[in-house]
Structure formats: C-alpha cells, structure tokens
Structure 1
Amino acid sequence: MTLANGNSDQVTNNGDVKKPFKIFVGYDPREDLAYEVCRHSILKRSSIPVEITPIVQSDLRKQGLYWRERNRLESTEFSFTRFLTPYLANYDGWAMFVDCDFLYLADIKELTELIDDKYAIMCVHHDYSPKETTKMDGAVQTVYPRKNWSSMVLYNCGHPKNKALTPEVVNTQTGAFLHRFQWLEDDEIGSVPFVWNFLEGHNKVVESDSTMFPKAIHYTRGGPWFEAWKNCEFADLWISEMQCMEKKKLSTS
C-alpha cells in the first residue's frame, strides 16, 4: 500500500482532513511488471494523495474472502475479485478499481473531479466487440454485453446498492450478473469519457482534437510485457514509463 506524496491525509484550506483516494489494482503474478508500471504511472502524475492496493487473489483466499473455483474463461486472477472493491474499501467513500494493464497519462485528480454522488458506479460505457479470438498470453477472448465496462470503475462504496457486493455474492454469482452490473439499475451507472479507458487497438486518436487523446491507455488485447504484443500501439509509451520506473528505483536504491 503506497501513499502518493508520502502523506496519509491531506489538509484542505478550511482545515478539514481529506483522506487519500483509494485505488485497487487487479493483480496477476504473470503481469507483475504491468502492475508495477500501472502503479508508477498513477503515482508519478497524481497531485492528490492516493492509496494504491493490489487485489491479490492468493491473499484473499488466505483471508477467507475468496473461494471461487477458477474456470477456463477467466483470463486473469482478478476476473471476479475486482468486485470486492466496495467491501475492501469498507463500503465507505469513493474508490476506483482498475485492471493492471493500464498506463495513466494524466493526473488522477482530473478523474476524481468527474465523480457524481448520484451514481452507484461510474465507468466508460464502451461499445466494444473484439475481433481477436485470443488475448494476452493466449487467453480466450470472450464477447458479452458491457465488455470492458468493469475494467475501470469508480465505485460509490457507501451507496446502498453496492452493499450487495459481499464476499458471498462475489463468490457465488454469475459472471453475467457481476460484469454487467446487474445489481444496479441502468440510471445508477454514470458515464466517464472514453479517454479514461482508451482501448488500444480499438479507440482512435484524432490528432486535431486534444480531447480525443488518451488519459489512460488500456492494453486490453495484451501489452509490451508480453512478447507477442511488444509492438502493439502505444508500446513506446509503456516502455518509456517502465524505463522511468526502473531509473527511479536505481536512484533510490
């Protein structure tokens, strides 16, 4: 767990104490480097205190919070553990879940400024049908309604509807129920601009329109940490971030 700027709390101008914004990142041992780069990219650009926690399936199993058997369609270890975010945040305040295969190019403060308390969750409302039959390191590519909506979600953890996401529900409900947000009504799902979950290989940059440039790139098909995807779009940005991270580690060691 890491706090940006080294502060556990932030004192506002009127003397109120503002808690760090909680960010839960999906973790898979096969993508440890992706997680580290994602984390680094957030911390590097954040102007507000953030608390970053990896969601590690093996730890959740040890704690008795996750016991679901893995099926062949789960491409990562966080396919279902992501939905424990409100529980892990103690059903309090707003928190974000994000897949580890993201690269942040903008200040997370900009994203938090989009938060609207009338919603139970907020995310990018993708209309996405992948052409590939496999992704990442050969995992099966599946197609379903609201695909990729759950890959980056702002959770209003204290919202009454999100209290339905107990460990029991996350371990027993269907993938359709969880990934399609079926515990919510449609009007309880707020929208976030697509640039905060910019799908590599699907969304396109419009050079003449700065509002179309990604603020967070999602290497949903697979990223440069996999040999098969080392030349994917925006690979240079991810590699540059990795090199920056490694340089920083060397300078502080």
Structure 2
Amino acid sequence: MTMTVTNGEVNPVTANGGFTIDKPFKIFVGYDPREDIAYEVCHHSILKRSSIPVEITPIVQSDLRTNGLYWRERGQLESTEFSFTRFLTPRLANYDGWAMFVDCDFLYLADIKELRDLIDDKYAIMCVQHDYTPKEATKMDGAVQTVYPRKNWSSMVLYNCGHPKNKVLTPEVVNTQTGAFLHRFQWLEDEEIGSIPFVWNFLEGHNKVVEGDTTTFPKAIHYTRGGPWFEAWKNCEFAELWLKEKDECVKEEKK
C-alpha cells in the first residue's frame, strides 16, 4: 500500500541540506494490525497537509517475513510489531537519499515540508532528542511500559539512507542486534545524530504547550502512552484532534 501524492506541478527544489529534491519524500510508517486505524489517521494527516509529493509506505512485519527481510522472534517487551522492523528503513529506501520513519500513533498538524527542510546532510540521522521517563507501568492496551536511555528517539527518525554508517543496518544486523544497540543508535557517534525541535515529536502527557508561545505548539502529536483508539486512552490529551481527523479520514474512505 504505497501512495504518491503531488500537489501541483513538481519542480526540483533545494532543501537546507543542499541536495536537489525532484522525487517524492519517502515516509515509512510502523504498522501493527491492532492499530490499523491509527495508521490510517496518521497517513491521512500527513497527506492532507503536505505541500510536497510524498510516498507513504507502511512497514508490515508479515510482508517483511514473506520477503525474507525479517525473521526475528518477537520478544516479551516488544509492544508493537514494528519495535525492530523500523530499523530496516534505510534498506527499504535502497540506502539512497533521505527517508523518514515514524510510529503509527502520530497525528500531523503541520506541513511535512517544514520537517523535510530541517534536513542537514552532515548527519547520519536526525530526531527529537527527548529526555523522557514515563510514569506509567503500562501503555496502549496493557503493554509493558519500558524505560531505557534515549527512549522515544527512535519513534520518529529522519534517515540519511546513503550515509556510510547507515549501511550497517542490514537485515542481518536488524534481526540479531540488541534493543539497546538499535534504539540507542549505537552504530553512530553522538555528533552524527542531528536534533529536531520537540514539536515534531510532541509526547502527549509529557510535553506541554506554553500559553502565548507558538513555538511550543505541536506540529506532530505522538500518543506514545496510548491514543483514543484504545478504550483506556479515549480521554487523553488532544484526543479531540485525533477523533476529528479520524472522522474526516473515514468519510473520505467512504467516498
């Protein structure tokens, strides 16, 4: 399920990283059958606001297994089917250009072009560098809430897929390396990890909007504890924004 959307005529443009873009921006979204509606709403929210052509592809574990790219047994602490498959993003992009990975439990409120324009070629990856320790013992539909360094850094990542360091992320490495190695980006040096403003991975229940400060308003809400599609989280912060987007998404699908 891949979709390319072009708003108007496509002309080559130059991003902040100094490279010419004349192809759709590749976005890979973590997919889990239990959260199909979350994926659909995330997908819808990106397309609705994008002023650039984008190519959105769900990372479906069963497809990766069929294609021989993923064979890892699921661990007890993996709360979603994309806990590790996310690190195949450079491989899925053929180790070429820049691509984004994002969890399905995001709601985009701003044009993805703004995020793409933050790209800087000197980095191997770029992400929001959260200092986050969850208070809850469980999340989503009762999954164990784990605590580890750099938590949520890997939930939305811009990958410089052609960077030599990212060619380490072969299927063999993704299927055999530890969670610490992958989620903490241990194949990279710290200076190879670029920083993105927190509003692009605004953690519901953790990050706060400061009244009168527009720089703190989320551009992408991450329902990391669990979103309104789970009964236990139907009244979470920003639930009404997600539900409104879902209604729009469902109406458009019916058309």
Report what 2:211 is aligned to.
Answer: 207
Cα displacement string for residues 151-201 of structure 1 (whole angstroms, at most 9, x for unaligned residues): 000000000000000000000000000000000000000000000000000
Report what 1:232 is aligned to.
Answer: 236
Superposed CA RMSD in Å reads 1.5
1:130 aligns with 2:131: no
1:76 aligns with 2:77: no
Report what 1:37 is aligned to.
Answer: 41
Report what 2:3 is aligned to.
Answer: 2
Distance in 2, matches of 1:182 and 1:125, equals: 14
The amino acid of 1:75's aligned partner reads: S
Cα displacement string for residues 48-88 of structure 1 (whole angstroms, at most 9, x for unaligned residues): 00000000000000001000000110000000000000000
Cα displacement string for residues 8-55 of structure 1 (whole angstroms, at most 9, x for unaligned residues): x933379x8700000000000000000000000000000000000000
Report what 1:194 is aligned to.
Answer: 198
- Determine which of 76, 87, 93 is the counterpart of 1:89: 93
Counting aligned pairs with the same residue, the percent is 82
Distance in 2, matches of 1:47 and 1:176, equals: 36
**Aligned residue pair count:** 249
Report SS of the residue matched to 2:26.
strand
User: What TM-score comes out, normalization by structure 2 length?
Assistant: 0.95
The amino acid of 2:191's aligned partner reads: D
Q: Superposition pairs for residues 1-253 of structure 1, below 5 Å?
A: 1-5=2-6, 10-12=10-12, 18-250=22-254, 252=255
Distance in 2, matches of 1:6 and 1:116, equals: 24
Check whether the contact 2:150–2:183 (CA below 8 A) recurs between aligned residues. Answer: yes
Distance in 1, matches of 2:250 and 2:33, equals: 19
Distance in 2, matches of 1:10 and 1:87, equals: 26
Report what 2:17 is aligned to.
Answer: none
Check whether the contact 2:7–2:51 (CA below 8 A) recurs between aligned residues. Answer: no
Change (3 A) 1:100 1:13: closer
Distance in 2, matches of 1:12 and 1:184, equals: 31
User: What TM-score comes out, normalization by structure 1 length?
Assistant: 0.96
Change (3 A) 1:13 1:168: closer
Structure 1 residue 5: Cα displacement: 2.8
Check whether the contact 1:200–1:219 (CA below 8 A) recurs between aligned residues. Answer: yes
Change (3 A) 1:201 1:13: closer
Distance in 1, matches of 2:235 and 2:184, equals: 32
Check whether the contact 2:7–2:52 (CA below 8 A) recurs between aligned residues. Answer: no
Distance in 1, matches of 2:253 and 2:186, equals: 43
Change (3 A) 1:207 1:164: same
The amino acid of 1:202's aligned partner reads: H
Structure 1 residue 207: Cα displacement: 1.7
